[in-house]
A and B are shown apart, each in its own frame.
Chain A
Amino acid sequence: MSHPSPGAVLKAVSKGRGGIHVAHNKITAESETVRMPPPRTVVLPMQQHIGAPCTPTVKKGDHVDVGQVIGDSDKYVSAPIHASVSGTVTAVADVKLANGRMAPAVTIESDGLMTRWEGIAPPKVTDKAELIAAIRASGLVGLGGAGFPSHVKLNTPEDKPIDTLIINAAECEPYITVDYRECLENSWNIMGAVYTLADLLKVPNVVIAVEDNKPEAIRVLQSIADDDNNRGDTVKLMTLKSRYPQGAEKMMVLSATGRRVPAGGLPADVGCIVMNVASAAFVSRYLKTGKPLTSRSVTVSGDCIKNPMNVRVPIGTSVREIIDFCGGFTEEPYKILSGGPMMGQALVSTDVPLLKSNNAVLAFSKRGAGLKANRDCIRCGRCHEACPMGLIPTQIVKYANKRDAEELSKLGVSVCMECGSCAFSCPANEPLVQYMRLAKEIMREAGVK
């Protein structure tokens, strides 16, 4: 990548990258994050991340304080779970999750005091190994929605030198504004994280990426990027054309460095680490205070929510209580999502807990998210044009119907990130993302990569 003079803003190319224009609907952008009072109970599922589930370390009747570990695993790819309120453990049992599946969880009845656990102390971090250990202990997972344990992401192998750290503030999903608010409200934490991570991980370049429809955030982040006097020109701001899914990891890496993450590979394979801006800000706060991940910001929005806003919520709070806090519904909702409209998960009920990786709760009426009847594919090619990964969804559908794992593999199904751009563009309303999942399933069953 070419390095422009200090203070210059990199402009990412977006031509020929697929993607779609989708209405931003960032109605909560100007709403300052409100802290929600402690809920009566929280439900903390033992798996809120990609990787091995945790085992509860508390039992019914135990008293816990905020920040106390209540679940952990001895596996590396996992992240401990901490109590998000102080109070009494009332159950260690299976609960229903957002996707309708049952999973073990710890339920805590809040005493309303939010007493901080006495064991909380800033971690001592002087090198990469200590940083990784500290981040694992913090329970941090990707706050942008993926939920991948952050310490695994940052702990890149020695044989893959990292030269660029990308702080992802693109937030290309419609409606969601938590990262945007993070930029405005916690810019100093972001800056702190940038320097700490760059120093400890020995990364020479940092790129902060933001979509060009967020001028306020650009202004704030620019001042961060400029404030690196005695560091030379290590931190740069990059604006992306607001086009979904510019914020996807592989797209970010391509925009910032011109490199393409190989199929089946990770950004580290091309010398990059991508970190969500809220996750980065959390790292900085955690290193200062030692307070683990027990709360997070969520955007509560959609046309059925009375008072759309950004709320800081203890993890494990039920979606129902969060919506109540925002004034409840204006009308009977048709669909409630955890996450954004493009990649979010439709909830079977509001009686489910908010997880670490959930960045939004959106409630829509039929007008906003009504289903359209699906017709036969007309082979118009719009799905292919929209696919940022250059896949041809219409052909994948064809071979998925034939259950032809070999052809599916040749078509590159595995690089599909389920961003939904194809299905968004499809005039026939083919459920393309479902087909992508089916195709992956067929390949998994057949054992082909």
Chain B
Amino acid sequence: MNEPAKLTVSASPHVKGPATVTGIMFDVIIALCPAAIASVAIFGLRAALVIAVCTASCVAFEYLSRRIMKRSSTIGDLSAVVTGVLLAFNLPVGIPLWMCVIGSFVAIVIVKQLFGGVGQNFANPAITARIVLLVSFASAMTNFPLPKSVDAVASATPLATLAGFDRTADLTGQIDLYRAADKLPSFFQMIFGVRQGCLGETCAVALLIGAAYLIVRGVIKITIPFTYIGTVAVFMLIASRGDLTYTAYELMGGGLILGAFFMATDYTTSPVNTKGKIVFGIGCGVLTSVIRLYGSLPEGVSYSILLMNIACPLIEKATAPAYFGFVKKKKEKKPKEEKAEGGAKA
């Protein structure tokens, strides 16, 4: 045998698992599809236009900024597509298209690439962009057109309506009253998203289908969405003194489901360890509930996630898991540990 001409030398391991960044992002895109289709069904073709513009401009900004910064192109990893779709989901359907482009610029160039690209940003790009737009163009961002199929007179989102309720009185009664007056969507309409709101946040069913897909595929863990939504549910149940209808409207009425499953679970801006995820989810839940119940805003998902994004490194530090064989240096607790040891030996 001849000596092989050229052997490749690299560090172990020499085999790789099937996971790729592109594959993961593609899974997220698949998971967003049901909600995207629902948004077009509910709000008409303009929803598709907004999604297309956001996605295209996000990808374009990703390409250009990497180009200008003389870095390798990363559009192939599809993360810019995910950001684009998520940004669109967080906008009202009637938004002027040039605002979509500004939002994409904020998300990709300012939040993501200036901080070093995927994995480096401290806040969720889509959420930050939404907040920037909300602050800059408040009226365009809060002008929520009615779904096509509805000929009601309501002019506010369900959450805004609920915020005006008297929480000391019978809440289900108030909901029924508003419903009769066509000022609130029916429960059925809520589930299927036939209500006012950002274009991708309304259809709970579609979002949950996508979320289930992500969980089954192992892309996200249920920890953050579960603790987040669970915490909000507990707060709302307490605030409404156990009123289930009110709680259900609160859970489905805003961007909570979208935020909890698709935004709060963003890898870069949420903790990697389980304990951290729990703290993060509960933190998001508490903030959202407090903003909704006591703040001047009807919705609080974006702000809560943004705040928790910023706190994420701290949470990660504080909840750092003990590695294998970690021994506490302090003397306290020693007897207990020894007992546990003895138990293991017995």
Contact = CB atoms under 8 A, between A and B. Distances in A.
B120 interface: yes
B13 to A, nearest CB: 3
Nearest to A393: B272
Interface string A362-382: 001000110110011111111
Interface string A13-41: 00000001011000000000000000000
B117 interface: yes
Interface string A342-385: 11111111110000000000001000110110011111111010
B341 interface: yes
Given A377-B119, A378-B79, A320 B17 contact: no
A320 B1 contact: yes
Contacts of B15: 22-23, 174, 341-342, 368-369, 424
A91 interface: no
Contact of B17 (A22, A258, A411, A431): A22
- Classify chain B: how many residues form its interface, as a range: 35 or more
B344 interface: yes
Contact of A418 (B12, B19, B21, B119): B12
A378 B120 CA distance: 8
Interface string B3-23: 111011111111111011101
A424 B326 contact: no
B137 interface: no
A420 to B, nearest CB: 3
Given A332-B4, A378-B267, A345 B12 contact: yes
Contact of B8 (A259, A371, A375): A371
Interface stretch (B98-106, B254-262, B317-325): B317-325
B118 interface: yes
A380 B10 CA distance: 24
A346 B6 CA distance: 12
Interface residues of A, number: 78
B50 to A, nearest CB: 26
A49 to B, nearest CB: 20
A250 B3 CA distance: 39
Nearest to B277: A381
Nearest to B79: A378
B19 A426 contact: yes
A265 to B, nearest CB: 7
Interface string B107-118: 000000000111
A420 B21 contact: no
A1 B13 CA distance: 33
Nearest to A271: B345
B323 A390 contact: yes
Contacts of B77: 375
Interface stretch (A69-77, A107-115, A321-329): A321-329
B311 to A, nearest CB: 15
B14 A380 contact: no
Contacts of B20: 372, 427
A420 B13 contact: yes
A391 B321 CA distance: 8
Contacts of B322: 390
B7 A424 contact: no
Contact of B13 (A323, A394, A423): A423
A433 B13 contact: yes
Contacts of A66: none
A433 B344 CA distance: 33
B172 interface: no
A389 interface: yes
B119 A344 contact: no
Nearest to B117: A376
B156 interface: no
Given A335-B8, A378-B79, A378-B119, A425 B17 contact: yes
A242 to B, nearest CB: 15
B24 interface: yes
A342 B10 contact: no
Contact of B24 (A329, A351, A380, A411): A380
A384 B13 contact: no
B12 A433 contact: yes
Contact of B324 (A260, A378, A411): A260
A178 B322 CA distance: 35
Given A329-B1, A433-B13, A259 B326 contact: no
B117 A433 contact: no
A51 to B, nearest CB: 22
B19 A427 contact: yes
Given A163-B345, A378-B118, A261 B12 contact: no
Nearest to B219: A380
A3 to B, nearest CB: 10
A247 B321 CA distance: 23
Given A271-B345, A334-B8, A20 B79 contact: no
Nearest to A427: B19
Nearest to A175: B15
B128 to A, nearest CB: 17
Interface of A: 1, 20, 22-23, 100, 163, 174, 250, 257-265, 271, 320, 323-324, 328-329, 332-337, 341-351, 364, 368-369, 371-372, 375-382, 384, 388-392, 394-395, 410-412, 415, 418, 420, 423-429, 431, 433-434, 437
Given A423-B12, A426-B17, 18 more contacts: A22-B17, A250-B325, A257-B345, A258-B344, A263-B325, A323-B1, A333-B4, A341-B15, A343-B13, A346-B8, A348-B9, A349-B3, A376-B119, A390-B326, A391-B323, A424-B15, A429-B16, A433-B12
6 contacts: A350-B1, A375-B77, A376-B119, A425-B17, A425-B19, A433-B13
- Closest CB pairs A-B (n = 8): A420-B13, A412-B323, A381-B272, A427-B19, A263-B325, A389-B324, A346-B9, A434-B11
